[in-house]
Structure 1
Amino acid sequence: MDFGLSPEQEAIQEGVAAICRRFGDDYWRDCEAEARFPREFHRAMAAGGWLGITMPEEHGGAGLGVTEAAIVMHTVARHGGGMAAASSLHINMFGPHPIVVHGTPEQKARWIPRLVAGEDQACFGVTEPNAGLDTTSITTFARRVPGGYRVTGRKIWTSTGQVANKILLLTRTTRKEEARRPTEGITVFYTDLDRSQVEVQRIPKMGRAAVDSNMVFIDDLFIPEEDRVGEEGKGFSYLLDSLNPERVLVAVEGIAIGQDALDRAARYARERTVFGRPIGQNQAIQHPLAECWAALEAAWMMAMKAAWLYDRGRPCGAEANAAKLLGGRAGYEACLRAVMTHGGMGYAKEYVVERLLREVMITRLAPVSEQLVLSFIAERVLGQPKSY
C-alpha cells in the first residue's frame, strides 16, 4: 500500500504550485474587495494546460483521472486563493464530464478544446429555487420545436454566470408527473449563454465574492438540437457521472483551505509573544492545532481512497460522500481554530484567516448537505431504511 504521490503526480503538484505562488495574498484580497473574477489566475492556469487535466488527449487535454484533478485542486486551494481560486476552475474538472462520456465526436471536437484553452467558460445550471437537492423535481422545461428546443425556467447558485459564455443546463423534457419514474424525462444541454433570453442576477453572499453566484431566469431560450448532450430524457443518469468526482474535489479543496489556515495559525503561534513566551508554547494553543492536523490528514486519506476507487471503475459513492463530509468539517474546524489562535487579529483582514473561514463554509453546504451524506451512508453502507 503506497500512500505517496508518483513522480508524475509530484510534477503536477509542483507545476500548479509554481503558478499559484505568482498570485499572493494581496491579489486575492483585491479580488475579494472588488468582487472581481480572478481572470489573470484563470488565464495562467489555462496557459499551463491545467484546465484540461481530465479531458481527452485527442482534444488537447491530459487524459488523467480524478486523482490528478484532486491533486490540482488541492494545490490551487492550498496557496491562499481558497475557494475563490478553486471555484474559478472547479467546473472544468467535473462539469463537462457528461460531454466527455456521452457527447458525439462532433460535439467533443467543437466544445472541449475551447474549454481546455480557457477560450470558453461554462457555468452549471442544475439547482433550482423550489427543488434544491431534489433534482428530480426541477421544473425548467425544454419544449421541442423545429430544429431544437425552447427553454423556460429558473436556476439558482449558478457560479460564474456573470463571466461565462456557455451553460451546462439540466432541464425537463417530460414533466415529473408524466414520467414513468422521477429520474426519467430529464435532458442535458450545453449551449451558448444567450443573455438576450437569459437574465443572470448576482447573489450577495458571505464569502468568495471574487467568484459570483447567481439566480438565472431563462425566458424562451432557443437551444439547437445539436447542443443536446446524449439522448433526450436520459440526463439524470448523465449527471450522476460527475457527482462523485465533484464530492472528491470539494473535499480536497476544504482540506487544502484548512491546511493553509493551519499553517498560518502555527506560524502566528510561534511568533506571537505574550507574557514573555510564544503562545504556541501553551498546550491550550498546541493541542487544538494538533487535532486539526490529524483530522485534515484523515480526511485527505479518505478523499484519495475515493479518487483511487473512481479511477479504477469501482464503486465509490460512500467514500466520496464521506470524504466530502470529513473534508468540509476538518477544513472548517481548522479555519475556525486559526482565527481563534490569532485572537483579535484573526478578525482582521490583514491575516487572511477570516477570509479562509468564510470561504471554507461552502464546502460544508455544497454540493450536498451533511445530512443527506449521512442518510446515504446509513442506507447504502449500514443497510438502514431510506429516510427521505
Structure 2
Amino acid sequence: MDFALSDEQRLIRNEIQTLCDQFGDEYWREKDANHEFAWEFYEAFAEGGWCGITIPEAYGGQGYGVQEASIVQQEIARSGAAMAGTSITSHHVFSAAPLVEYGSEDHKERYLPRIADGDVMVCTGVTEPNAGTDTSRIETVAERNGDEYVVNGQKIWTSKAQEADVIMLLTRTQPREASERFGGLTLFFTEFNEEMDSVDVSEIPKAGRGAADSNEVWFEDFRVPVEDRIGEEGEGFKYLLSFANSERISIAANAVGIGQAALEKAASYAREREVFDAAIGSYQAIQHPLAESWSKLAQDELMIRKAAWLYDEGKNAGPEANAVKLRSSEDAIEACERAVRVHGGMGYAREYDVERYWREVMINVIAPISNEMVKNYIAQHVLDLPRSY
C-alpha cells in the first residue's frame, strides 16, 4: 500500500498551484463582490490544457482519472478560489463524462476536442424545482418530431448557463406512469446559449460563489437534433448514475481544499494577532479547534485518495465516495466556522476572506445531493437497513 502521490500527480498539483498563484484572494474577493464571472481564471486554466484532464487523449484531452481530477479540484479550492473556482472548471469531471462513455463517435468528435481546448463552456440541466432530490419526477419533456426532439420545461440551479455553449440536459421522453420509476429519462448533449429564442435564463441571487452564476432556465420549443442524444432513449438516468460517485469525490475534494485554505488563514492570523500580551495562537482555546479540524481534513483527504483509486480501478466506490462526501463537507464547514471565530470580528470582514470560504463551503452539504440522502445510502446499501424514504 503506497500513500505517496506519483511523480506525475505531484507535478499536476504543483502546476495547478503555480497557475492559481496568479489569482489570489483579492481577485476572488473582487469577483465575488461584483458578481463577475472569473473569465481570466478560466482562460488561464484552459490555456494550461486542464479542461481536458479526464477526456481521452484521442479527443485532445489528457486522459487522466478521477484521482488526478480530484487533486486539481482540491488545489483550486485551497488556493482561495473556493467553490467559485472549482465550479467554473469542474465540467471536465462530470458534465462531459456521459458523452465520453456513451456518446456516438460522431457526437464525441464534435464536442470533446472543443471542450478539451477550453473553447466550449458546458453547463448541466438536471435539477428541477418540482423534483429536487427525486430525479424520477422531472417534468421537462422532450417529444420526438422527425429528426429532432422538441423540449419544453424548466431547470433550476444550472451553473454557468449565462456563459455556456453546450448543455448536458436530462429530459423525460416517456411519462413516469408508463415506465419504471427512473425509466423514460433521456440525456442530451447539445448546443445551448442564453441568446437563443427558445430559452430564457434568469440568475438566482445566492449567498456565495458570486464569481460563478447559478440560474433558472426555461425551455420553450427548444429543438435538439436526434444525433445529440446520448445513447439510447429512456436510458438517461442510468447514464448519469454511473458517474454519481465521481461527482461525490470531486465535491469532497472541493470541501477539503476550502477547509484547508480556511485553516491556513486562521493559523496565520493566530500567530500574528496579540491579545493580553501574547499571540492568540498560544492559547489552547485557539489551538485545539484548529488542530482538531486539521486532523479531520487529513483523514478526509486519505479517503478521497482511496475512493478515487477504487473508482479509477473500476471497483465499487459507492460506500467510500458517499462517506467522504458526507464527512469532508461537514468537516470543512466546521473548519471554516472555526477560522471565522479565530479572526473574531475581522472574521466577518470581507478583507480576511474566511467569511467567503464559510459562505461557499455550505454548498457541499446540499449538492449534488444532501447529506441526509447520503446517510440513507450508507444505511441501506452498506449497513443493509430497510429503505427509509
Q: TM-score, normalised by structure 1?
A: 0.99
* SS of match in other structure, 1:284: helix
Question: 1:51–1:93: 8 Å Cα contact kept in structure 2?
Answer: no
- 1:236 matched residue in structure 2: 237
Task: Answer with 29-38 or 334-343: which moved more.
Answer: 29-38
Q: Deviations over 1:106-156 (max 9, x none)?
A: 111110011111111111000000000101111101001011110001101
Looking at structure 2, the residues matched to 272 and 364 of structure 1 have their Cα atoms a distance apart, in angstroms, of 32
- 2:381 matched residue in structure 1: 380
* SS of match in other structure, 2:159: coil
Looking at structure 1, the residues matched to 208 and 123 of structure 2 have their Cα atoms a distance apart, in angstroms, of 19
Q: Deviations over 1:287-335 (max 9, x none)?
A: 0000000110111111111101000000011110111101101111110
1:219-368 paired onto structure 2 within 5 Å = 219-368=220-369
- 1:185 matched residue in structure 2: 184
Q: Deviations over 1:251-279 (max 9, x none)?
A: 01001000000000001001001110000
Question: 1:95–1:242: 8 Å Cα contact kept in structure 2?
Answer: no
Which structure 2 residue ranges, 5 or more long, are not aligned? none
- 1:156 matched residue in structure 2: 156
- Superposed displacement of residue 36, structure 1: 0.8
Looking at structure 1, the residues matched to 361 and 302 of structure 2 have their Cα atoms a distance apart, in angstroms, of 19
- 2:171 matched residue in structure 1: 171
AA matched with 1:92:
H
Q: TM-score, normalised by structure 2?
A: 0.98
RMSD of equivalent CA atoms: 0.7
Looking at structure 2, the residues matched to 303 and 14 of structure 1 have their Cα atoms a distance apart, in angstroms, of 19
Looking at structure 2, the residues matched to 152 and 253 of structure 1 have their Cα atoms a distance apart, in angstroms, of 33
Looking at structure 2, the residues matched to 326 and 283 of structure 1 have their Cα atoms a distance apart, in angstroms, of 25
- Superposed displacement of residue 184, structure 1: 1.1
- 2:53 matched residue in structure 1: 53
Aligned residues: 387
Runs of 4+ in structure 1 deviating by more than 6 angstroms, as ranges, are none
AA matched with 2:85:
A
- Superposed displacement of residue 241, structure 1: 2.2
* SS of match in other structure, 1:158: strand
Q: Deviations over 1:171-221 (max 9, x none)?
A: 010010111x11111100011115210101100000001100111111111
Question: 1:55–1:63: 8 Å Cα contact kept in structure 2?
Answer: yes
AA matched with 1:363:
N
Task: Answer with 23-32 or 199-208: which moved more.
Answer: 23-32
Question: 1:257–1:331: 8 Å Cα contact kept in structure 2?
Answer: yes
* SS of match in other structure, 2:93: helix
Q: Deviations over 1:146-172 (max 9, x none)?
A: 111100011011000111121100001
* SS of match in other structure, 1:149: strand
Looking at structure 2, the residues matched to 306 and 147 of structure 1 have their Cα atoms a distance apart, in angstroms, of 41
- Superposed displacement of residue 240, structure 1: 1.1
AA matched with 1:278:
A
Looking at structure 1, the residues matched to 93 and 42 of structure 2 have their Cα atoms a distance apart, in angstroms, of 13
AA matched with 1:192:
E
